[in-house]
Amino acid sequence: MVDSCHTDHTFAVCAYKESAFLEDCIKSVVEQTVKSNVIVCTPTPCDFITNICKKYDLPLFINTKEDADAQDSWNFALQSAGTKYVTICHQDDCYDPRYFETVRKYFDDKLLFLHTNYKNIFTDENNNSTVRTSKNVVFKRIIHFFFANKWQQSSIFFKKCDLSFGNSICCPTCTYNKSNLEFPLFISKYRHGIDWDLYIKLACRPGRVAYVRKPVLFKRIHVNSQTTDDVRSGVRKQEDIEIYSRLWPGFMSKILQKMLSRFYNAG
């Protein structure tokens, strides 16, 4: 039942079809050291998802919008959660048991959203998984070291700097303060860069974007993930060049995309 934990936070798990990783994601948020609310949202209702929700006694919200895409699913998840703070969970990823215990210390009325450090789970075609820190994660940590310190988190200048060298924010690590945001929150023409597009817009607004240095999420990279598909198809490259061009002069946007792609293509 939503709000059964009497906290003002919800993990909203976005489920899509029959993912082999969905139950691991759900277990990771159900088994938090400090309990919070958990809901599941899907545009593709099926017995597989319904049975997992029944197993963990979780409410299931069905998005009836035809051909709902990623941003439709994320907007639906935010609106389905009946709490002030919402973490949008991607079904491939897993949360450290101390995620909510850690991030709730950053909640306040000035917060727009927070994001955290993370590690990668690389899963191969045989379903063998390895947890390690990718080049992309290391690069993001360096960016946050210079531009995401506590005293900089309310500065429009530094919030934009933190995003000027690529999307330094890992989307599933984010918790949003709905009371300081407008809906629908995700409104983007991009397929892959939906979140980066949003973060740039929010960086230009008054309010705090908090960074949690503790790695409390495991982002999964596998052959069928959306990230892998967008890199393979070239969608990510094209969209990154376009977003860079909003932040840098034209020649610089192409140089930065070419230089930095070796890092962020690793998730």
What are the backbone angles phi and psi of residue 187, rounded to the nearest 5°?
Answer: -135, 100
pLDDT reported for residue 6: 58
Query: Computed from CA positions of residues 223, 224, 225, 231, in that sequence, does the dihedral angle turn out positive or negative?
Result: positive
Q: How far is Cα 43 from Cα 262, in angstroms, rounded to an integer?
A: 34
Half-sphere exposure of 2 (CA within 13 A, CB side): 21
Q: Report the pLDDT averaged over residues 249-257.
A: 75
Q: How far is Cα 122 from Cα 136, in angstroms, rounded to an integer?
A: 13
Nearby residues of 228 by Cβ (< 8 Å), 6 or more positions away? 221, 222
Residue 266 has pLDDT above 60, yes or no: no
> Alpha-carbon dihedral of residues 239, 242, 244, 249, nearest 10 degrees?
160
Closest CA to 148 of 114, 176, 118, 193: 114
Name the pTM for this structure: 0.92
Q: Which of 106-120, 132-146, 226-240 ranks highest by mean pLDDT?
A: 106-120
Q: Report the pLDDT averaged over residues 12-36.
A: 97
**E-state strands within the chain:** 9-14, 37-42, 60-62, 85-90, 94-95, 111-123, 129-132, 175-177, 208-222
pLDDT reported for residue 254: 73
Residue 125 has pLDDT above 90, yes or no: no
Residue 1 has pLDDT above 60, yes or no: no
Give me the CATH topology for the region 9-264: Spore Coat Polysaccharide Biosynthesis Protein SpsA; Chain A (3.90.550)
Q: How far is Cα 37 from Cα 116, in angstroms, rounded to an integer?
A: 20
